[in-house]
Structure 1
């Protein structure tokens, strides 16, 4: 890098016309690609090409007026005047070979539209005066990765942590935004995503747009979606200070509400609930953008005659948890969530059955092992939301009816809520019997569960790291309740650090050292429209054109073996439930 960096643009009246021409040059040359512009901000990409190899780089970017906020995840930004911004490489993207292209996504916020009028890379002007500099312009694009709300707490993670947990939290929330279905909001932060599945309808024409796509596909599977929303809400409630310190309280509420809005839409009658949109087999025969789908997307429901106590119970839990989360900030919405939660619980309890018997297609992908845990889970959450003794009595009764609820679980997951409901009951009652169940589970995962050579708790080959995040979250909540606090906190941090880099690499897309660049995700693998996208994109060895920031990939096997291969849907898939416990655990550590 050069020793001196020119970072100030001298502005004067006589230069007005020059500035106007230069502003157009940065966009026209492709150095700046304005992906999305709204009244007080824009999402854009800074595109660079390296004519010779470098081991570090610095970009100086000048705007024609002061910004109110600027952030990017792909570089370290700094400014002294909110007009000239210096972007320094991160540890993982400083080395660039000759001819390499790099795209840096950023959000710029302003009182009135700001233009980039100068870009210098390692001291060489790239676009002023209508002529691109020696660096030229790359065409690769990536997703926006910023947050626009100032932090309400510390801007820095605890100094004892070896990784930036706040950055992980922010990026994980971006992953949920990338999974949105339906009409996207005007402040969408994922520029490569657009409106999709706008014709999702029920049997009688009910509007079923919205919700989340499950994984790298485009099916809206109700059970794992609801389980994810419950866990996200739980983390947002119990570890609110972690979100506040990272400036992400607003965004986690938005993430939960995007799911619960959809559940409320899908609850079309007291005993009628749509639990899936899209056929898994048909959807998986298509590799491409959600925005380009043309296949038929049937929506399936559970009813009194074709019940699904697991699905209805989990959705009741999610809505009850959301009612707590929004009780202060949005009381009317909280009341709506609670009303639907009560109805859904009654539906689940009075009309018993597994949901895959009503929705066979769901059983091919997310087959439920039972519904006793969801019934107890829903009742416990409703008690926490209402303080109505009836629900606590119900929850205790389910522990008597379903004996497996008192046993030592082997996991906490979208299918098995046993560890979660044991912990929640201890939180609510303080009864030692529930506390013993919790410590039995956390002691087992901490001391006796299978481990990889590098120390990862290994519970299942499918999404091995989601289980790491899930048990870390459970044990952090237990620690907060006073159960073996130091031991469980240290265990959770050790497991999370494995994910973030202690395992030899980062397993979070767009974060840390050597993160995955080929997650099994169709939309992220597609180039910008209107370029075609199909099965060739699944099998190419090139990195995904769009960075799916914050996504936790499935993870390594029991020997720590992992290959960043897009077609490996066991180790490189991403999913709503993969991030839910992981993100909540990250917030838990930030709350310590």
Structure 2
């Protein structure tokens, strides 16, 4: 069903760089009724169109077969059509013929003209960001655009300050099993499921980077946007804590969701909610929620003390739940296991306790953290939504200064730096895993910067971190960040950005569109290349070209770290 409130004024979108206008031709007159054609030769890839048909006198009873009439001028001289799903995809050089039939009341059929609007252009522009002299890449621009990516992932009722013109309110009926309000939060990736574990893990890394490198955000003019950025998911995490021993950890079923290609605004499928509780525990996800909220408390304690206090109160109660009722969340919630299966919960219990210690200074939390820190800790696999080992090593050393934690950090990076256990691509990417290769390298780049800030192999770790982030920004000859740098991805695997402007229908045809996504998903880091630096920019390539909230978190924080160093004259 077409929703008229989404109809855009003609002037608000770009029509092929100019108005593609043609006269009505091929008129057949049947005395009081006529047929006419508007023939457009397509000059660029189209993934949905709007046609404005104007007549020099009123016509009534207009019918045609290529689109749907969504608006008629009061005097019946102008009709606005939008394409049907199967007619919206038009390729360069094709001819689109809109044939209309209508009644007229004059002595002869009217003359007419048609204007075709390519709904693959949303007109969104991003204001230029400040630059730091002497840097190869504009880190401030990356921070600005990465925050925009998170705004594009918002679910729920959007604020009046929404900066993404192609996003509207969505999933307004998300609720728990007893009707609890679960609207809000972030959609996870290119789909429309809300997964609590990667969402909260992303918040923790973003908050850590904000706390550590606040000067970079301030210099980039992004401080207030960053507060808004992490507040959005934090408010959802609070909503998801519906009882002392109850925590919602997912909204939406992955199977049903992945059977739908379209905008989140158009979803009609059921969106069940899943939770962990005393009888079906999830210490890992609860530990991460607690970490995110404790880190959020540190971010907001001066900015908004009331909100900060709410976060801390929830964090402490959730952590108590996590240690009292132990279990792996994906064993309790089968619907999460196919997408974000957890391997253990001890690292999240250590992680959550460390962040609570930093928020409260209660020694009991540091004792808890040491309890769950592995006794024989060695090299960490790599920081991720499922692995908090490297982060725990760094926080333990930052807090205690004990040599054994420094030894663990060094063991981890001996494995990650060239010559260690991690293979490298020919062009220098530390390749941990095919699925989201840039995510792991970026997360560990952020960890390396944090370790270096505390005096651990300062120059070596900073140099390595810079090499991994610069790989993503363009050192191989192309950018892997949508809307940034040279030859960036244009077809990220992302449903919403692949759809034309509303109200043009969107379905699986949009996935097969040959051109760039109609909307630039500014700032999104794609999964990245394989171990041979091979990469295909195709929205069907979900392994290498999907985007996700956790892909950008460590990456954005590492970029902030590099900008901080460049401002201080300490960038290697």
Which TM-score band (shorter chain)? 0.7 to 0.9
2:520 corresponds to 1:551: no
Shift of 1:136: 10
TM alignment of 1:373-392, pairs within 5 A = 373-392=347-366
Match of 1:156 among 116, 128, 131: 131
Shift of 1:314: 0.4
Distance of 1:46 and 1:539 partners within structure 2: 22
Task: Find the counterpart in structure 1 of residue 104 from structure 2.
Answer: none
2:415 corresponds to 1:415: no
2:450 corresponds to 1:443: no
Distance of 1:562 and 1:504 partners within structure 2: 12
Distance of 2:16 and 2:297 partners within structure 1: 43
What SS class does the counterpart of residue 12 from structure 2 fall into? Answer: strand
Distance of 1:101 and 1:204 partners within structure 2: 47
TM-score normalized by structure 1?
0.76
Shift of 1:204: 1.0
Shift of 1:442: 2.1
Tell whether the 8 Å contact from 2:201 to 2:292 is kept in structure 1 after alignment.
yes
Tell whether the 8 Å contact from 1:158 to 1:590 is kept in structure 2 after alignment.
no
Task: Find the counterpart in structure 1 of residue 236 from structure 2.
Answer: 262
Task: Find the counterpart in structure 1 of residue 165 from structure 2.
Answer: 191
Tell whether the 8 Å contact from 1:47 to 1:140 is kept in structure 2 after alignment.
no
Match of 1:497 among 465, 470, 476: 470
Tell whether the 8 Å contact from 2:12 to 2:123 is kept in structure 1 after alignment.
no
Distance of 1:313 and 1:162 partners within structure 2: 39
2:12 corresponds to 1:48: no
Q: Which of 439-448 and 503-512 deviates more?
A: 439-448
Distance of 1:362 and 1:579 partners within structure 2: 21
Tell whether the 8 Å contact from 1:47 to 1:101 is kept in structure 2 after alignment.
no
Tell whether the 8 Å contact from 2:491 to 2:537 is kept in structure 1 after alignment.
yes
2:348 corresponds to 1:337: no
Distance of 2:290 and 2:16 partners within structure 1: 46
Tell whether the 8 Å contact from 2:393 to 2:408 is kept in structure 1 after alignment.
yes
Distance of 2:516 and 2:284 partners within structure 1: 38
Tell whether the 8 Å contact from 1:50 to 1:101 is kept in structure 2 after alignment.
no
Shift of 1:137: 7.5
> Any idea what the Cα deviations from partners look like across 1:408-429, whole Å, max 9, x if unmatched?
1121100010011111111111
Shift of 1:138: 5.8
Task: Find the counterpart in structure 2 of residue 33 from structure 1.
Answer: 12
Shift of 1:562: 0.3
In structure 1, stretches of 5+ residues that fail to align are 1-26, 35-44, 52-97, 103-134
Tell whether the 8 Å contact from 2:45 to 2:515 is kept in structure 1 after alignment.
no
Distance of 2:370 and 2:360 partners within structure 1: 16
Match of 1:424 among 382, 386, 395: 395
Give the direction of change, closer, same or farther, for the CA distance of 1:47–1:167 in structure 2 (3 Å limit).
farther
Distance of 1:191 and 1:47 partners within structure 2: 18
2:316 corresponds to 1:347: no
Task: Find the counterpart in structure 2 of residue 59 from structure 1.
Answer: none
**Aligned Cα RMSD in Å?**
2.2
> Any idea what the Cα deviations from partners look like across 1:272-318, whole Å, max 9, x if unmatched?
11000000111001110000000000001100111000000000000
Shift of 1:538: 1.2
Count of aligned positions: 468
> Any idea what the Cα deviations from partners look like across 1:238-279, whole Å, max 9, x if unmatched?
111111110111111211111110010010101011000000
Shift of 1:573: 0.5
Tell whether the 8 Å contact from 1:143 to 1:190 is kept in structure 2 after alignment.
no
Distance of 2:123 and 2:195 partners within structure 1: 25
What SS class does the counterpart of residue 225 from structure 1 fall into? Answer: helix
2:405 corresponds to 1:434: yes
Distance of 2:368 and 2:170 partners within structure 1: 40
Give the direction of change, closer, same or farther, for the CA distance of 1:197–1:244 in structure 2 (3 Å limit).
same
What SS class does the counterpart of residue 276 from structure 1 fall into? Answer: strand
Distance of 1:300 and 1:181 partners within structure 2: 17
TM-score normalized by structure 2?
0.79
Distance of 1:502 and 1:234 partners within structure 2: 26
Distance of 2:286 and 2:124 partners within structure 1: 35
Give the direction of change, closer, same or farther, for the CA distance of 1:139–1:181 in structure 2 (3 Å limit).
closer
Task: Find the counterpart in structure 2 of residue 222 from structure 1.
Answer: 196
TM alignment of 1:278-297, pairs within 5 A = 278-297=252-271
Distance of 2:323 and 2:127 partners within structure 1: 41
Task: Find the counterpart in structure 1 of residue 510 from structure 2.
Answer: 537
Distance of 2:224 and 2:170 partners within structure 1: 24
What SS class does the counterpart of residue 416 from structure 1 fall into? Answer: coil
Distance of 1:587 and 1:209 partners within structure 2: 30
What SS class does the counterpart of residue 455 from structure 2 fall into? Answer: coil
Shift of 1:49: 4.0
TM alignment of 1:576-591, pairs within 5 A = 576-591=549-564
Task: Find the counterpart in structure 1 of residue 544 from structure 2.
Answer: 571
Match of 2:124 among 144, 147, 155: 144
In structure 2, stretches of 5+ residues that fail to align are 1-7, 21-41, 47-114, 566-572
What SS class does the counterpart of residue 247 from structure 2 fall into? Answer: strand
Shift of 1:467: 0.9
Shift of 1:436: 1.4
What SS class does the counterpart of residue 301 from structure 1 fall into? Answer: strand
Distance of 1:300 and 1:139 partners within structure 2: 37
Task: Find the counterpart in structure 2 of residue 119 from structure 1.
Answer: none
Task: Find the counterpart in structure 1 of residue 99 from structure 2.
Answer: none
Give the direction of change, closer, same or farther, for the CA distance of 1:158–1:313 in structure 2 (3 Å limit).
farther
Tell whether the 8 Å contact from 1:309 to 1:354 is kept in structure 2 after alignment.
yes
Shift of 1:353: 0.2
Shift of 1:468: 1.4
Match of 1:487 among 442, 448, 460: 460
Shift of 1:403: 3.9
Distance of 1:492 and 1:501 partners within structure 2: 14
Tell whether the 8 Å contact from 1:48 to 1:101 is kept in structure 2 after alignment.
no
Tell whether the 8 Å contact from 2:491 to 2:538 is kept in structure 1 after alignment.
yes
Q: Which of 425-434 and 512-521 deviates more?
A: 425-434
Q: Which has the larger radius of gyration?
A: 2
Tell whether the 8 Å contact from 1:49 to 1:137 is kept in structure 2 after alignment.
no
Tell whether the 8 Å contact from 1:271 to 1:344 is kept in structure 2 after alignment.
yes
